[in-house]
Each structure stands twice: as structure tokens, then as C-alpha cells.
Chain A
Amino acid sequence: MKIVTAIAWGGVMSAACLSMSAASAQSCSVPVLKVLAQKSLGLTVMEKTLAEYEKKNGTKVQISYFGENDRRSKARLDASTRAGSYQIYYIDEANVAEFATAGWVVPLLKYLPKDADYEDFLPGRRAVASYKGVAYFAPLIGGSDFLFYRRDLLEKAGIAVPKTLDELVAAVKKLNNPPNVYGWAARGQRGSGMNVWRWAPFMLAAGGKWENNGVPTFNSPQAVKATTLYRELFKYSPPGGATYDWSNALEAFRSGKVAFMIESTPFADWMEDPKKSSVVDKVGYVRPPSPLPSAAYGHGLAISATGAKDECTRQAAGKFIAWATGKEQEQARLKDNVFSDYNRSSTIASEYFRKHVKPQIQAGLTDTTPVSRVTIWPSPEWPDIGDNLGVVLEEVFTGTRGDVQSALDEANEYATEVMQRAQKRK
């Protein structure tokens, strides 16, 4: 009998809870917002003033941090199972297409407050945050590419800063003097955000294309030519360079062992950190030599469709996102000596930025912004296709596969199958 009473009480209590939450939804107050995020310097700065935001808006913000790959899979699991444990996801250029087509995130602009000034975000950032012209996230970090070069080494050897890819290759060969200095470092480790990311501008610059009407075409003669060149450049990189991820490349460069590297713009700040870098004030930053485009990327916050079901929660999420990515936050980052996490035109134009960021980095930014573009294939199937291509490329770079054409043919065929399977399920 007692059990029956307990069950009955339980039922009554949960019904009461349900009606309470329904009531609170109607009055449009959102007590808690949960954010699935990846640690960034900018977010660390934001947390310092988060308590004030919570107090002012009556909304508690709980942020759970994960590493990049875990963050991606966790968000994918949460959205696909419709668990909806988080109202806000941290997403990036590589999965915006996937999340948008699956309907896991909602178009952002509808829920951003009017004063969020989304247009102020740099054009490259807005491009990577959108899918088919609709904006899905507000950027927290992002960038495009610099050619990092050692000014001192170039001066000593009397070499001009390379303006074209051919000039770069010649300069890399000339400055290569192992084991003291290696000419080149680049990402070789597999991964759609790793070697494929760095290789893509080479493929596009050679005249290759990802696809033609949805049919993968990245095994063209141009792509083969680009891959062969990319592989050849590893001859001038430090031992093991063909399996470098970006952090290996950066460490090699800032330990003073490398003359040239193409890497993402925010890493310029890493080179100028006297505690960790032995090349402070010795590095120049320019756009990647023509015809290489500058690969734009961005990570930011988006509203989860299942986590934030009702309009009220979505608006609260939009409000938080606007605050976390707003102009004031970007200024606060600068004042906290975080010079890598900028995304807004107004930040770059601000006096504090002009005063404190090294002139060579500012000059590089002006140089590389006009050629910044999306260089990956913005398709929902991208993670699958890119991951497999990364494996094949690493095999080519490390010598497991000698024949570039057959390797790319295989990756292209894999991509074709993936696209066909995706077509069938639509």
C-alpha cells in the first residue's frame, strides 16, 4: 500500500513540476542555458564577466568544455539522438553544413538581438559561418592563412619575399640547410581539418575543383600536380614532417628550425610570445603566394534546435551568443592580452588593436584578407569525405603510396559512393 501511495505522490509531484516549467516558459524566463563548448582564450576571458551577465539577465549559463574532436562527436550525438541537453553548440566551418542540413541548429539571425551587429564580423568569418547563404553561428575564433617567413634568413640570403608559388618553392629549396634550418613545414597528418585543410588551397590554386554538380572531381590532373608538389615540399621539412599536425609545425617554426610555413593567422601571436618563441620579431607575415587562396575558418556559437525548443529559449540563447561574441567581449580579450581571438572589423580598426598588435601582423592581415575564402567542400558529407581523403594523402606523403593518381582516384571514388548513398537517403 505504501508503494502505491509513494507512486501516487511521485506522480503528483512530477505533474506539479511539469506545470511549473510550462508556466515559466510562458512567462519567458529561461533559468539555465547549457553550452557545449571547446576551450578558447576568448571564452576564458568571457567567463570573468559571466557572473555579471547571469545576474543581469536572470539566466544561469553552464558551459561544458571538450576537446575539438570530442566536442564535435558530443554535439553530433546530442543533436542526432534528440537528447537536446544543450541549448547552445559550439560548431565550426567543417560541420556547419552537416548541422544545418540535418536541422540540428536554427538560423541564427532571427534570434540575435538587433544591436548584435552581425555585419560587423569580418567577411571571411561570415562566409564560413553560413550554409547556403544563411548564417548559423556567431564566430568566437577564426582566421585565414599567412605565409610565415623568417625575415632574418631571407635578408641574409638576399631573397625577396615570395610572391608566387614558384618563387616560394625556389626559396624553400635555397634556404633548406639541414639540420640547422629546414626550408618548409606544413601539416601532413591525416584529417579533414589537418592535411586536407592545408592541401586544399594547393589543389584549388592548381586549377582543381572539389566537385562538379555534386560529383567529386578531386582526382583531376591539376589535383595530382598539386599533390605531387605538396609531397615534394616535405623533402625540405624536418624529419617526420610528413606527419606533422599544426602544433608540430608551429613548434618547429618557433624553435627557429624552419624558414617558411603556411599556417592560420591567429598563430602569428604565438610567434611573438617571448616566453615560448625563439623567433620573436624575426617573422614576417604575408598572404600565401599567388595563386594560393587563404583558407578561411571559424568556430562559434549556434543555437541547438532540439535543445532550445521554444522561441523564448531560443531568444535567450541568441541574447547570450550576442553578448559572448559582441564588440565589448572582443575588446575585453585584447585588454587581457588575447590578440588571436578577433572576428570583427571594428576590433581590427580599434585603437587598442592598432597600438598593441605588432605592425607586421597588421600588415599581413591587410594583405591576406582579400584572398580569404572557403577552401573546403561545404557539404554535409564533408567530414566523411575529408577524413578518408586525409588518410590517403598521409599515405602519399609518407611514401606508403607512390602513385598519386591512383591514390586520388581511390579517394574520389570513395567520395562518389558517399555522395550516392547520401542521395539515396534524401
Chain B
Amino acid sequence: MPYTIRKKRHTWLPAVFLTLPLLVLLILGLVPSIAAINLALQNRVLRYSDSEYVGFANFLRLFGDRRFLNAVQVSAIWEVVTVAGSLIVGVLLAVFLFERIRGRARDLLALLLIVPVLLPRVSAAFIWKFMYSPLMGILNWLLECVGLGGTALLSDPATALYAVALVDIWQWGLFFGTVILKLLETLPTEPLEAARLDYAGTLQVYAYIALPMLKVPIMSLVFIKMVESLRSFDLIYVMTKGGPGIATETLDMYAYAQGIGLMGKVSYASSMAVLMMLATTIIFTLLWKRVAKWEN
């Protein structure tokens, strides 16, 4: 009898506590999603009071829309560059600090390194936009000292996206450096010492022992950054507005331009949002499964 009571409590209590929040989540998540799908199947434009269902016409139009196809490509490049860049900068920085800097200096540096990520994105974007300015910016002044003056990185279609990505990496890479540094500090010292006794070089110690031991938390960082990188709107909007031309126009920027910006084509923008939702759900599920396998 006591067993059954315990069992009953065990099964019902979570349900009691979870039903309400799950219901709220369901409403908050499902209602906008269904509304977006519903909107994507119509030809609603803000200027007209009427609209009708047009099936998948918006989706078909998307695949012939060069700005959309370009935005998919730009978003993919942005995602890869910022996630990989932040991770590489973070790991290198953390290893450097862990190896070379000790005591209070390390703590102080760690504190300084998280300052960029604490800056509001819009402020960071403005600061860097001014620094990049070819006439008055400090970066150009520095480049001039080495004979590379007069370069307008944000105005060149070939460099603009990477110039903006650098700001993102500056914010997140340095922050990751601190996080990974703190993770390294939590590692037991024995395996590392053992490896060193076996004449493993510094690089080998980190590449084969320390970092693989931190694989799971680092993957969590990667996931956080992947989601964060999808929301690049503020940075790009301030620095380039998606230009030059469409060289830095990501999917969210293009959807904004079509739906809320000047055009008011909300159905068309919704169809983009729905596609983005599908794509991210599929990609993230696949990646998640992959990572779950590693953990096992």
C-alpha cells in the first residue's frame, strides 16, 4: 500500500505543477505559429483591407526571388562564420590565459573580456560603425599607419559581411574565452599532468585531453551561439542596413523589409518566417540528436 501511494504521488505531482505552465507555453507557442502559417497561405498586404487564400503561391514565389535566395546564403554564411569564429577565438583565448596568466591578473582579464557582450548590441554596432568609417574612424587611421588606408570595409560587398561578423565575434568570442577559461579551471589536474609526464606537448594536452573533456559544455555554448546568431538583426541593421546592395541581407532582415519595413507584404514575410521555422527546427533536431549520441 505505501508503495502504491508513493507511486501515485510520483506520477501525479509533476502533472499538477506542469499542466498550467505547459498549457500557457502551448498557447504562447502554438497560437502565433498557427497564425503565421495561416497568414502565409493568404495574399494579405497591409494596404488592402481584404485578402484571400492563395495556397502555396507565396512559397513558390520565394523560390524564384533572388533576394530571398541570397538571404538564405547570407544567413548560412553568417551562422557558420559567427559560431565558428566565436568558438575558435574563445578556445584560443582561454588556452592562452590558462597557460600564461595566473592569479588576480587572470580574474581581472576575465572580467574585462565579458564587457563587450554586456554592451547593448545597438551601441556596439554604432561604436564599430564609427571605428570602421574610412574618413574619421580609428581603424582606418591604424591601417593607414601600415599603408592600407582608405579602405571602406563596410561598403565593399566582398568584405561587409565579415566586417560585421567581426563585431559579433568580438562580443561573443571574448565572452566564450572567459567561460571556457572557467571550465578549464574546473578540470582535475591529474590527467593533464599525466599526459605531460608522457611528454605530450601543450597543443596535444589541450587538443586530445582538456578540450575533449569539455566537449559537452562547449557544445552547449555552440547551441546557445547558434540560436543567438539567428538574431543578428540589430547589429546588421545599424551597421549596413543589409547593404551594400544585398550583401549583408539576412533572412530576418529581408522578412522585416517585406513585412514591416516599407512594403507591408505581411503574408509574403510570414511565408519566409514559416520556412525559417521549419528549417531551424529540422536542423536543430538533427544536430541535437547527434550531440545526444556523443553524450552517450
B135 within 8 A of A: yes
One of B50, B156, B263 near A383 (C-beta < 8 A) = B263
A172 within 8 A of B: no
Q: Is the interface of B mostly helix, strand, loop or mixed?
A: loop
A23 within 8 A of B: no
In contact, A69 and B244 (Cβ under 8 angstroms): no
A330 within 8 A of B: no
In contact, B136 and A255 (Cβ under 8 angstroms): yes
Contact pattern, B 212-248, Cβ under 8 Å of A = 1, otherwise 0: 0000000000000000000000000000111111110
For the complex of A and B, list the 9 residue pairs with the smallest distance between their C-beta atoms, beginning with the closest: A240-B152, A395-B245, A240-B155, A239-B134, A398-B244, A80-B46, A383-B262, A243-B155, A239-B152
Smallest CB-CB separation from A94: which chain B residue? B262
Contact pattern, B 240-258, Cβ under 8 Å of A = 1, otherwise 0: 1111111100000000010
| A398-B151 contact, Cβ under 8 Å, with A80-B47, A384-B263 | no
B161 to chain A, nearest CB (A): 12
Stretch at the interface among A47-55, A70-78, A312-320, A346-354: A70-78
A198 within 8 A of B: no
Smallest CB-CB separation from B156: which chain A residue? A398
Instruction: Enumerate chain A residues within 8 angstroms of B48, measured Cβ to Cβ.
Output: 102, 425
A115 to chain B, nearest CB (A): 35
Contact pattern, B 128-158, Cβ under 8 Å of A = 1, otherwise 0: 0000011110000000000001111011110
Contact pattern, A 395-416, Cβ under 8 Å of B = 1, otherwise 0: 1011111000000000000000
Instruction: Enumerate chain A residues within 8 angstroms of B261, measured Cβ to Cβ.
Output: 69, 73, 387
| A80-B264 contact, Cβ under 8 Å, with A190-B245, A400-B245 | yes
A257 within 8 A of B: yes
In contact, B46 and A77 (Cβ under 8 angstroms): yes
B260 within 8 A of A: yes
Interface centre among A98, A391, A401 (most CB of B within 10 A): A391
In contact, B135 and A242 (Cβ under 8 angstroms): no
| A102-B47 contact, Cβ under 8 Å, with A69-B261, A387-B261 | yes
One of B243, B246, B260 near A73 (C-beta < 8 A) = B260
Smallest CB-CB separation from A242: which chain B residue? B155
In contact, A398 and B245 (Cβ under 8 angstroms): yes
In contact, A238 and B134 (Cβ under 8 angstroms): yes
**CB-CB contacts below 8 Å: B5-53 with A:** 45-50
Smallest CB-CB separation from A102: which chain B residue? B47
Question: Can you offer 29 A-B residue contacts whose CB atoms are under 8 A?
Answer: A69-B261, A69-B262, A73-B260, A76-B264, A77-B46, A77-B260, A80-B49, A80-B264, A102-B48, A179-B149, A189-B243, A190-B245, A238-B134, A238-B135, A239-B152, A240-B133, A240-B134, A240-B154, A241-B152, A384-B262, A387-B262, A391-B246, A394-B244, A395-B246, A398-B155, A398-B157, A398-B245, A399-B157, A400-B244
In contact, A391 and B262 (Cβ under 8 angstroms): no
A302 to chain B, nearest CB (A): 16
B67 within 8 A of A: yes
B19 to chain A, nearest CB (A): 22
| A391-B135 contact, Cβ under 8 Å, with A76-B264, A383-B263, A384-B263 | no
One of A102, A240, A387 near B263 (C-beta < 8 A) = A387
Smallest CB-CB separation from A81: which chain B residue? B46
One of A101, A243, A386, A387 near B257 (C-beta < 8 A) = A387
Complex Cα distance, B260 from A243, in Å, reads: 23
In contact, B155 and A239 (Cβ under 8 angstroms): yes
In contact, A239 and B150 (Cβ under 8 angstroms): yes
Complex Cα distance, B48 from A241, in Å, reads: 38
B256 to chain A, nearest CB (A): 9
A125 to chain B, nearest CB (A): 23
In contact, B47 and A243 (Cβ under 8 angstroms): no
| A98-B47 contact, Cβ under 8 Å, with A239-B134, A394-B244 | yes
A203 within 8 A of B: no
Contact pattern, B 45-89, Cβ under 8 Å of A = 1, otherwise 0: 111111000000000000000010000000000000000000000
Complex Cα distance, B140 from A239, in Å, reads: 11
Smallest CB-CB separation from B262: which chain A residue? A383
A136 to chain B, nearest CB (A): 15
One of B133, B241, B262 near A189 (C-beta < 8 A) = B241
A49 to chain B, nearest CB (A): 33
A331 within 8 A of B: no
A192 within 8 A of B: yes
| A243-B134 contact, Cβ under 8 Å, with A179-B150, A387-B262, A391-B67 | no
Instruction: Enumerate chain B residues within 8 angstroms of A383, measured Cβ to Cβ.
Output: 262-264
Smallest CB-CB separation from B237: which chain A residue? A69
Contact pattern, A 176-219, Cβ under 8 Å of B = 1, otherwise 0: 00110000000001111000000000000000000000000000
Instruction: Enumerate chain A residues within 8 angstroms of B149, measured Cβ to Cβ.
Output: 179
A414 to chain B, nearest CB (A): 10
Complex Cα distance, B155 from A190, in Å, reads: 12
Smallest CB-CB separation from B263: which chain A residue? A384
One of A191, A242, A251 near B244 (C-beta < 8 A) = A242
B100 to chain A, nearest CB (A): 38
A139 within 8 A of B: no
A295 within 8 A of B: no
**CB-CB contacts below 8 Å: A232-269 with B:** 238-243, 251-252, 255, 257
**CB-CB contacts below 8 Å: A60-104 with B:** 69, 72-73, 76-77, 80-82, 98, 101-102
Complex Cα distance, B136 from A178, in Å, reads: 14
Instruction: Enumerate chain B residues within 8 angstroms of A257, measured Cβ to Cβ.
Output: 135
Complex Cα distance, B134 from A384, in Å, reads: 32
In contact, A192 and B154 (Cβ under 8 angstroms): no
Smallest CB-CB separation from A79: which chain B residue? B46
A380 within 8 A of B: yes
